[in-house]
Amino acid sequence: MKLIRLFYRATAIWLQREADIHAAALAYFVPFAITPLLLLSITLVGIIIGADEVGILLLQWGNSLDPELTDLLLISVYNFDDLTTSYYIPLLATIFFSAMVVVTFNSLVSGLNKIWQVESNGWRNFFKRSGRSLLFFLFLQSYLIGLILIDRMFLFLSHIQFVNLLGYARPAIFFGSTLLLFTLSYGILTLRAPSFRSRFYGALVASSMILFTRELVTLHTATTPIPGLFGAAGLIIVLLIWIYVSASIVFFGAAFAAALEEDKAT
């Protein structure tokens, strides 16, 4: 009964504190920021691990949604890279996309602060949010490096033992890494985080929902080739829907953490 009550309270918090609006705002800004973010991730992590390894990991994630969507994003990254490394520098475009990256992360931080009722107005808090966003970006690069190293380790073990360990372990790796990502991100992004216990259980709920939703999206794209019929527009719609659903789930995990904090206080 307590678990049902917590889910009910988390749903109420999610609705009352306008998590759906913040998720929609995030879905609006992410398409502007995703190309420079992918390019930065491939560049920074590629220095340590290798750009090809980063590309393989991102392709694995993208292909679980739609291979054509992955191709679209890959082309946009190459085009953006060509523009920024040619003999002229599109200064206005660089400034615009850099601003979109900051706004995207700040939108995520604002949503979490609203759910956890943390005051975040004013220029001082804006710079604090921007600092948290930068810290989260650096943490995200470390997260990518860790995933690639784990992936390589299981691949190496599978060659030694003649068993495809990676095929069996990949869902567990995805769930565990997502749980770790959400738990730590909830603490990094917000200006005043709930307790680690509340963040962990909120991340557990969000990770479970993400894993379930990912399987549904995989099944849908495997059996419904409709987005590809509309070209890039259809693929972008798939991307927007997936971003909105993912952001909504992340905010619901935060709402569950808030419900746990309220329950602990009573």
Q: Is residue 121 part of a domain?
A: yes
Q: Is residue 2 part of a domain?
A: no
- Tokens read off for 70: 């992955």
Percent of the chain with pLDDT over 90: 16
Residue closest to 257 by CA, chosen among 216, 204, 211, 188: 204
233: how many CB neighbours lie within 10 A of its CB?
Answer: 8
Q: Is residue 118 part of a domain?
A: yes
Task: Look at the chain and count its residues.
Answer: 266
Q: Is residue 129 part of a domain?
A: yes
Q: Convert the pLDDT of each residue in 63-80 to its tens digit.
A: 555 555 555 555 555 555
* pLDDT value of position 87: 45
246 close to 214: Cβ distance less than 8 angstroms: no
Q: Which residue has the higher pLDDT, 159 or 172?
A: 172
Residue closest to 151 by CA, chosen among 42, 60, 38: 60
d(CA 82, CA 57): 22
Structurally, the chain folds into a number of domains equal to 1
Q: Is residue 1 part of a domain?
A: no
For the residues 234-245, what does the mean pLDDT come to?
72
User: What is the pTM for the complete model shown?
Assistant: 0.78
pLDDT reading at 12 higher than 90:
yes
Q: Is residue 235 part of a domain?
A: yes
- Domain limits for position 94: 9-265
162: how many CB neighbours lie within 10 A of its CB?
Answer: 6
* pLDDT value of position 199: 94
For the residues 177-200, what does the mean pLDDT come to?
88
Which whole-number Å values give the CA distances from 259 to 1, 95, 180, 195, 198, in the listed order?
14, 39, 20, 12, 9
pLDDT band at 109 (very low <50, low <70, confident <90, very high): confident
d(CA 35, CA 98): 11
Instruction: Of 51-55, 102-106, 111-115, 223-227, give the range with the top mean pLDDT.
Output: 111-115
Q: Convert the pLDDT of each residue in 117-139 to its tens digit.
A: 887 677 777 787 778 888 888 88
Percent of the chain with pLDDT over 70: 60
- Tokens read off for 60: 């694995």
Residue closest to 197 by CA, chosen among 120, 263, 142, 131: 263
What is the average pLDDT score of the chain?
A: 75
Q: CB-based burial of residue 208 (10 Å sphere; 0-12 exposed, 13-18 middle, 19+ buried)? A: middle
Q: Is residue 116 part of a domain?
A: yes
Q: Is residue 168 part of a domain?
A: yes
DSSP state of 192: S
- Tokens read off for 109: 């931080």
* pLDDT value of position 121: 72
Q: Which residues have CB under 8 Å from 12's CB, separation 6+? A: none
191: three-class secondary structure by DSSP:
coil
119: three-class secondary structure by DSSP:
coil
pLDDT band at 186 (very low <50, low <70, confident <90, very high): very high
Which whole-number Å values give the CA distances from 156 to 8, 147, 163, 174, in the listed order?
45, 14, 10, 18
Q: Convert the pLDDT of each residue in 78-106 to its tens digit.
A: 555 555 555 445 566 667 767 777 788 88
Residue type present at position 24: A
